[in-house]
């Protein structure tokens, strides 16, 4: 495709980022958590080019959820301090990055993942602690033992990690206290583990988690309709551009954007101009009783859940209104 200059030149569906909103989100977070006190989570946007923008804003350490994300970040020259905030057994792929000179830390929560890290050539780990979300993380009482085991296996233990994911959408009047209790658990484990790092948090708790040494937030820079329900300075910078390909005299219009362009676990996307009837594989049917839309019109839909939506696309088209000002490949997809 020749270089598109406006959104009318793009194939649809395409993923758009409104540059000014993105910049405002990044600035708002950097004000609260400057430099290394934010460890941006690349799982939210899966783009090393976007991560490079966050580096320009002062953040040079990043975290990720998959090995492929770390491999891509290292390849893009962003391997100063990368954390795989997730458990893996195939740690040889991480060891290969260490051997290339990148700084790689991996989360561990079991004997098996500690042995995998040591055998795979990783040098540094965080002990991942269960602080209330039923997912990864060791029993807090077991954190000290695992740290000892890791050190005995030749690993440097940088500290602890926890994720209060169950509190991201908690009610505002109880959230701070609930995060405090979760962090009490993590800090008690930290006393048994040692190290400088207490890594936790996310876009939903960045303002109230005051005890982590670094916050793992990623969604804040683009947001979605779910996170937009929270009180915060962040606004939705991302949308899916679609074209109306069919209209019906019965009062609907069909956009060429569907389940294959969207993450649907938080429900339907939002069409700010009106009501949405349903999504199917490659279509979204919009309610349009007054026939305001015509075949060929473009519409923008807002995703309900950012991360799994982004992972369906090849690139972000960065726009200033209808003008295309940049393109950020989504190069960190798959595993």
Helix and strand element counts for the chain (H, E): 8, 15
How many residues make contact with its own copies (CB under 8 A)?
61
Residues 7-26, interacting with its own copies (CB under 8 A): 11-14
> What is the number of other CB atoms lying within 10 angstroms of the CB of residue 56?
8
| Strand pairing class (214-215; 197-200) | parallel
Residues 255-294, interacting with its own copies (CB under 8 A): 256, 259-261, 263-265, 277-283, 285, 294
Q: Residue 113, interface with its own copies (CB under 8 A)?
A: yes
Burial 103-114 (b: 16+ CB within 10 A, else e): ebbbbbbbeebb
If the CB atoms of residues 213 and 298 are measured against its own copies, the closer one turns out to be 298
Q: Residue 36, interface with its own copies (CB under 8 A)?
A: no
Cα R_g (the chain), whole angstroms:
21
Question: Site for its own copies (CB under 8 A): which residue of 20, 174, 210, 246?
Answer: 246
Q: Least Å distance between CB 134 and its own copies?
A: 5
DSSP-assigned beta bridge partners for residue 18: 319
Q: CB of 39 within 8 A of CB of 220?
A: no
DSSP-assigned beta bridge partners for residue 243: 298
Coil, helix or strand at residue 7:
helix
Q: Least Å distance between CB 58 and its own copies?
A: 26
Residues 221-240, interacting with its own copies (CB under 8 A): none
Q: Residue 130, interface with its own copies (CB under 8 A)?
A: yes
Q: Least Å distance between CB 106 and its own copies?
A: 11
Question: What CA–CA distance (Å, rounded) separates 311 from 72?
Answer: 14
Q: Least Å distance between CB 31 and its own copies?
A: 27
Nearest to 106 by CA among 119, 90, 87, 93: 87
Q: Residue 308, interface with its own copies (CB under 8 A)?
A: yes
Q: Which residues bind its own copies (CB under 8 A)?
A: 11-14, 43, 65-67, 86-90, 109-110, 112-113, 130, 134-137, 139, 165, 243, 245-250, 252, 254, 256, 259-261, 263-265, 277-283, 285, 294-296, 305, 307-308, 311-314, 333-335
């Amino acid at each position: 495709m020749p270089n598109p200059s406006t959104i009318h030149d793009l194939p649809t569906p395409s993923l758009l980022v409104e540059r000014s909103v993105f910049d405002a989100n990044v600035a708002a977070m950097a004000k609260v958590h400057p430099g290394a006190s934010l460890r941006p989570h690349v799982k939210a946007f899966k783009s090393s080019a976007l991560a490079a923008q966050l580096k320009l804003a002062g953040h040079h350490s990043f975290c990720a959820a998959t090995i492929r994300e770390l491999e891509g970040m290292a390849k893009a020259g962003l391997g100063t301090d990368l954390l795989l905030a997730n458990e893996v057994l195939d740690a040889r792929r991480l060891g290969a990055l260490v051997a290339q000179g990148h700084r790689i830390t991996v989360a561990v929560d079991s004997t098996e993942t500690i042995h995998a890290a040591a055998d795979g050539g990783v040098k540094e780990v965080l002990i991942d602690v269960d602080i209330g979300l039923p997912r990864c993380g060791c029993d807090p009482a077991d954190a000290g033992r695992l740290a000892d085991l890791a050190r005995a296996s030749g690993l440097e233990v940088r500290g602890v990690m926890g994720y209060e994911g169950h509190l991201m959408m908690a009610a505002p009047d109880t959230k701070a206290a609930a995060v405090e209790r979760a962090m009490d658990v993590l800090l008690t484990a930290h006393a048994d583990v040692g190290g400088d790092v207490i890594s936790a948090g996310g876009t939903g708790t960045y303002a109230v988690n005051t005890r982590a040494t670094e916050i793992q937030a990623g969604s804040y820079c683009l947001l979605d309709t779910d996170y937009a329900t929270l009180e915060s300075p962040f606004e939705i910078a991302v949308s899916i551009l679609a074209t109306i390909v069919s209209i019906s005299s019965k009062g609907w219009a069909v956009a060429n954007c569907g389940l294959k362009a969207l993450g649907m676990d938080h429900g339907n996307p939002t069409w700010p101009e009106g009501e949405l009837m349903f999504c199917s594989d490659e279509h979204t049917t919009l309610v349009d009783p007054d026939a305001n839309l015509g075949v060929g019109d473009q519409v923008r839909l807002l995703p309900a859940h950012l991360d799994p939506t982004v992972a369906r696309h090849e690139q972000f088209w960065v726009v200033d209104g209808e003008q295309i000002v940049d393109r950020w490949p989504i190069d960190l997809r798959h595993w």
